A and B are shown apart, each in its own frame.
Chain A
Amino acid sequence: MNNAIEINGITKKYKDFTLGGVQAVVPCGFATALIGANGAGKTTLIDILCGVTGKTGGKAVYFGDMTDIDDDKLRNRISYCSSANFFPMDWTLKKIADSMELGFDNFDRQRFAELCRRFKLGDPTEKKQKKLMKLSDGNKMRTYLAAVLARDTELLVLDEPASTLDPLARDMLCDLFREYLSERDGERSVLFSTHNIADMEFATDYAIFMSNGKVIEQGFVEDLKEKYILVHGDAENADRARPFMISFSGGRTGFEGIALAENADILRTYDTAVETPTLQQLSIGILRKAEEDDK
C-alpha cells in the first residue's frame, strides 16, 4: 500500500519539550487521526510535516518520493489548516480569496464561493463583508475549511478542526472528509488531530496515538479494535483481572479497562464481559497506559 507520508525519526527539540524520533505513516486514500493529550506533540508534528516549523532531525517522505517541504510542487499537493487564527483577523472572505489565489497554484475561487455558501458564510464577491474577528469561533473554522478545501490537493492536513465546531458541524466535517477522499478514490488522504474522538470516529480510518512527544501506537481502526478489547467486570474480580489489562479504572461496584485481545480468554474466566472497544475507549485506554508508563 502507498503512503501519503512516511515519517522517519522526526525530532524537534524545544527548551521544555522534545518531539522524539517519530516513526509513523499516513496511509494514502484514508483519513488518519492524530490522537493524544494536550502537549503530546500533535501540533508540532503537523507543523513540521506542513513546513510551518523546522525539524531538528529525521525525515518525512511524501507521496513516495518527495522530501523537500519547501518545494512548491510539494506545497501545492498539501492543504493545511491550523487550529486557530489561520488567517489575519482583519481579513474578509474576499481578502482570503485574493491572497490564496496568488499563494497557491490550485486555489479555485469559484469552489471557494460554493463552499462559503454551503457553510452559510456569505458570498466572497459581496461588497460588504464581515471581518474574521467578527465571526464566531465555529464560523472562523468553517471559513478556514472553505479556504483549504477550495484547493485541489492530494493531502488535507487539519490541526484540531473539530474543537470549535458544534456537533452538527462536526458531522458535516466527517462528510467533508468522505467527499474529499471519494472525489479521487484512493489518491487523496486526510490527516487531522482531534480531541473529539467520539464525534470524529466515523471519519477515522487510521489512528496514530501520541503521548509525551512519541508515537505509542498506530494502525487501522479496524485492526486496533481486533488487537484490543474492552473489559468490564465486578469489583470482586478486579484484582485478578488487573495484571492482564493495559489500562484499568475501577470503583466499589465494578471495573473497566482495555486489554490485549490475546488475553480475552483468561479475562473471561474472571467473570468479565469482553467487548469491542470504540475508538474513544481505545484512545483513553492507550493514552492512560502511556501516562502511567511515563510516571
Chain B
Amino acid sequence: MTSNTLTLSQAHKIYTGDSMGLYALKLSIGGILMYSATILTFFIIMLLSKGNVSAALNEMSGSTLTNTFLTIDAGIILMITGLIQYDRHLPGGKYFRTVNGGFDTYRKMKNASLIARVISLISIMLFGALFDRLGILKLAFGTSGVIYIGAFLLLNIGLVNLIDLIKNPAVKGLSTSIVLVAGLAGVISPDITDGNIYFALAVAVTAVPFIIISQKIMLNNYKKNKWYK
C-alpha cells in the first residue's frame, strides 16, 4: 500500500487498528452509553427523592440539567479523543514515524479522527433528540436545544485543536475545563435567544471553517515542532 493511495480510513487503521467507520461507531456507542448511564443515575436520584416514576420523570423533563448532561457527556468524548497524542516518546510513536507516507499518513489519520468525532457528535445528538421526540425524556427547548448543543460542541472540536498548540501540560489541563464551559454555552444560549434555531445554525455554519482552519494550524504546528524534532 503506497502512501498516495492510502485512504483516510486506512491511515486511521494504521494508527489505531480501527477503520474510521468502526472508530466513529465505537465513539457513538460510547457517548450514547455514557449519556444513558448519566440519565439513569439522575433518574434513580429523582426516584429516591420523589418516590414514584412519573413524578421523577416530570421533574427531569424539560430540565436544563438534562441538556447539560448531554453536553458534558458528548463534550468529554470529543475532548479526550481530540487530545490523543502520538508523540515519539509515547508507545507506538516511533513506529508511526516509519510507516509509508510519514507525516502525510499522520495528517490523514488526524483528519479521519476528526470526521469520526463529528459523526459521533451527530449520533449522540440524534439519540438525545430521539429521546425527546419519543417523550422518554424531554429536553429544554426540545430538538432546538439539541441543535444548540451540537452547534456549540462543533465549535469545541475546533477549540480542542487549538488546545493542542499549548506546550505547558498544566495550562493544557486547565484549558480543557474552559472548553467544557464553552460547550455549556449551548445550554445557556437558547434562554437568551428564545431557542431561535437560526442562531444555532449560524453557530454550526461558523464552526465548519473554524474546525478546518484550526485543524490546519494544529497539523502545521505538529509538523514543525514535534514530528521532526
| A101 / chain B contacts, CB cutoff of 8 Å | 1
A47 x B94 contact (CB < 8 A):
yes
A89 x B91 contact (CB < 8 A):
yes
Contact (A87, B2) CB under 8 Å given A54-B229, A98-B17, A99-B13: no
Contact with B along A79-98 (1 / 0, CB 8 A): 01010011111010001001
Of listed B17, B95, B105, residue having the most chain A CB within 10 A? B95
Chain A at the B interface: mostly helix, strand, loop or mixed?
loop
B95 x A87 contact (CB < 8 A):
yes
Identify which of B14, B93, B95, B101 contacts A72 (C-beta below 8 A). B101
Contact (A51, B2) CB under 8 Å given A86-B92, A88-B91, A88-B92: no
- How many Å from the CB of A198 to the closest CB on chain B? 27
Answer whether residue A105 sits at the interface, using C-beta atoms and an 8 A cutoff: yes
Answer whether residue B172 sits at the interface, using C-beta atoms and an 8 A cutoff: no
Minimum CB distance partner of B6 in chain A: A102
Identify which of B3, B17, B103 contacts A91 (C-beta below 8 A). B17
Instruction: State the CA gap A70–B103 with chains docked (Å).
Output: 9
Answer whether residue B65 sits at the interface, using C-beta atoms and an 8 A cutoff: no
Interface size on A, as a range, is 20 to 34
Identify which of B13, B98, B100 contacts A52 (C-beta below 8 A). B98
| B156 / chain A contacts, CB cutoff of 8 Å | none
| A88 / chain B contacts, CB cutoff of 8 Å | 17, 91-92
Answer whether residue A61 sits at the interface, using C-beta atoms and an 8 A cutoff: no
Answer whether residue B67 sits at the interface, using C-beta atoms and an 8 A cutoff: no
Identify which of A70, A95, A104 contacts B102 (C-beta below 8 A). A70
Contact with B along A103-139 (1 / 0, CB 8 A): 1110000000000000000000000000000000000
| A98 / chain B contacts, CB cutoff of 8 Å | 13, 17
B91 x A75 contact (CB < 8 A):
no
Identify which of A52, A72, A80 contacts B88 (C-beta below 8 A). A52
- How many Å from the CB of B8 to the closest CB on chain A? 12
| A70 / chain B contacts, CB cutoff of 8 Å | 102-103
Instruction: State the CA gap A98–B22 with chains docked (Å).
Output: 14
Contact with A along B3-34 (1 / 0, CB 8 A): 10010001101110100000000000000000
- How many Å from the CB of B86 to the closest CB on chain A? 9
| A91 / chain B contacts, CB cutoff of 8 Å | 17, 92
Q: Which residues, 108 to 146 on B, are CB-close (under 8 Å) to A? A: none
Count chain B residues whose beta carbon lies closer than 8 angstroms to a beta carbon of A. 28
Instruction: State the CA gap A80–B97 with chains docked (Å).
Output: 10
Contact (A50, B98) CB under 8 Å given A72-B3, A102-B1: yes
Instruction: State the CA gap A131–B1 with chains docked (Å).
Output: 26
Identify which of A53, A85, A103, A105 contacts B228 (C-beta below 8 A). A53
Answer whether residue B170 sits at the interface, using C-beta atoms and an 8 A cutoff: no
| A75 / chain B contacts, CB cutoff of 8 Å | 98-100, 102
Answer whether residue A164 sits at the interface, using C-beta atoms and an 8 A cutoff: no
Instruction: State the CA gap A95–B90 with chains docked (Å).
Output: 18
Instruction: State the CA gap A106–B101 with chains docked (Å).
Output: 14
Answer whether residue A281 sits at the interface, using C-beta atoms and an 8 A cutoff: no
| A86 / chain B contacts, CB cutoff of 8 Å | 91-92, 94-95
| B101 / chain A contacts, CB cutoff of 8 Å | 72
Minimum CB distance partner of A50 in chain B: B98
Q: Which residues, 57 to 88 on A, are CB-close (under 8 Å) to B? A: 70, 72, 75-76, 78, 80, 82, 85-88
Contact (A103, B99) CB under 8 Å given A53-B88, A85-B92, A88-B91: yes
A85 x B90 contact (CB < 8 A):
yes
Give 4 new A-B contacts, CB below 8 A, not counting A54-B229, A70-B103, A82-B95.
A52-B94, A52-B97, A53-B88, A102-B1
Provide 30 A-B residue pairs closer than 8 Å at the C-beta atoms, listed in order of the A residue.
A51-B102, A52-B88, A52-B97, A53-B229, A54-B228, A70-B102, A70-B103, A72-B100, A72-B101, A75-B98, A75-B99, A76-B100, A80-B98, A82-B94, A82-B95, A86-B92, A87-B91, A87-B95, A88-B17, A88-B92, A95-B17, A98-B13, A99-B99, A101-B1, A102-B6, A102-B13, A103-B100, A104-B1, A105-B2, A105-B100
> Nearest 5 CB-CB pairs, A to B?
A54-B228, A103-B99, A95-B17, A85-B91, A88-B92
List residues of chain A with CB under 8 Å of any chain B CB. 47, 50-54, 70, 72, 75-76, 78, 80, 82, 85-89, 91, 95, 98-99, 101-105
